[in-house]
Amino acid sequence: MTDYLKFWLIPNGLVAAGIAGFVLGGDWVWLGIATFPILAAIDALLPRNMRPRRMTNNFLATAPVWMAAIGSLAIYFFAAHHIANNELTTMQIVGSIASLMWISVVPGGPAAHELWHRRHKASRVLGQISQICMFDGIRDIGHIVGHHIDVCTPEDGDTAPRGQTLYWFALHELYVSFSIGFRLEKRALNKRGLSFWNWRNRTWSWVGVMLVFQGLIFLVGGWAGVALTVTGMLAARLWIESFNYFQHYGLIRVEGSRIGNRHVWNHMSELSRIVSFEITNHAGHHQDSYMPYNKLVPHPEAIPMPSLFTCFFVALIPPLWHRRIIMPALKRWDLEYATAEERTLAREQNKRAGWPDWIGEAGDKAGKAATVGC
């Protein structure tokens, strides 16, 4: 029962804090974003948790995901009502946007992701609707049809190549993530003999949902509410791209080859796992994308990584991220986990990034202990 309570209380506690900030008003609007540094500090101090979840009741495991997705939508109405009925200072407007951004990213983003992958249609629809909090209504298309097939190859927009900074990746992904979904939707329509302008195009569904949502926001908060919520969504869109940076950074897979557990970085600190609905423990997710978060099994043989929050703050200083965290991890990955073909591609990326040639220095010793099945 403890595991159920963790997922019921902690992700939705973040949503509740954000909503409470708008209900209380004034400087309390900062309450939502204030949970971010607190969560990050606690998570960085916690040990890695490699224990599988003891959650067998599907309803009790799914309900908190629904609550987080609905809550990430609901908080925008509280924000719109607040700005329409109060005179906010500049700093309070900034705090409002920051809180909306944070709740949309965590737990809103992971909740939407979890629901995209459910077999139950109602869950998938809710996930697709809730992703408008990230100002992207077709993100699930690029993720499911693109990322899950192309992961760790040059075709995968969610895999950052070696040497790329967090800043460039996040800005680049603003275009790439949408363009991939747009292109894949257009291709699917063409295969069915349908025009891009056909009403079945999910792009138009997204526009329609967004117009309805912002229409409701307007009824609650007027143009000030619309401006606030759109700004919060756009900010969330940029931030969610930055978290993608850490899931597969620098990992290599030959196109067409089997996807293994080794093609994912896992961040196993307890709070990272809980607020992300196990996205930070998602190696098994790439083996079976329908597997619910509560059934994902940690892989103790994987290269250990720090808390996802720690990685985020360190990556804000690119040289520190490269030298202290990701280069040592990738060196071990290249020499112990990569196949011969992957090492060839990795060596080329290392050269382009201006990194040391540790594969060449290892010579014949590279790959002797490779755990290819990982």
Write out pLDDT tens, residues 150-196. 999 999 999 999 999 999 999 998 888 888 888 888 888 898 888 88
Rounded-to-integer distance, Cα 203 and Cα 340, Å: 41
* pLDDT attached to residue 282: 87
Rounded-to-integer distance, Cα 194 and Cα 197, Å: 8
**Percentage, residues of the chain above pLDDT 70:** 97
Give long-range contacts, CB 8 A cutoff, 24+ apart: 184-192: 184/141, 184/142, 184/145, 184/146, 185/138, 185/141, 188/145
Q: Is the pLDDT of residue 310 over 90?
A: yes
* pLDDT attached to residue 151: 95
Q: Is the peptide bond before 11 cis (omega within 30 degrees of 0)?
A: no
Per the prediction, the chain carries an average pLDDT of: 93
Mean pLDDT of 11-30: 98
pLDDT in tens, 83-97: 999 999 999 999 999
* pLDDT attached to residue 196: 82
Q: Could you tell me the pLDDT band of residue 200, with boundaries at 50, 70 and 90?
A: confident
pLDDT in tens, 354-369: 999 999 998 777 775 4
* pLDDT attached to residue 369: 45
Q: Under DSSP, is residue 186 helix (H, G, I), strand (E, B) or coil?
A: helix
* pLDDT attached to residue 374: 65
* pLDDT attached to residue 366: 73
Q: Which residue has the higher pLDDT, 188 or 326?
A: 326
pLDDT in tens, 256-275: 999 999 999 999 999 999 99
Q: Is the peptide bond before 107 cis (omega within 30 degrees of 0)?
A: yes
Find where tokens 């990701």 sit: 326
Rounded-to-integer distance, Cα 71 and Cα 186, Å: 31
* pLDDT attached to residue 372: 45
Q: Under DSSP, is residue 257 helix (H, G, I), strand (E, B) or coil?
A: coil
Does this model's pTM top 0.85? My answer is yes
Mean pLDDT of 315-342: 97
Mean pLDDT of 240-254: 94
Q: Which two tokens stand for residue 133?
A: 């909090």
Mean pLDDT of 107-111: 97
* pLDDT attached to residue 228: 97
**Ranges 21-35, 41-55, 187-201, 341-355: which has the least confidence:** 187-201
Asked if 44 and 309 touch (Cβ cutoff 8 Å), the reply is yes
Q: Is the pLDDT of residue 130 over 60?
A: yes
Neighbours of 240 (CB within 10 A): 27
**Percentage, residues of the chain above pLDDT 90:** 81
Q: Is the pLDDT of residue 248 over 50?
A: yes
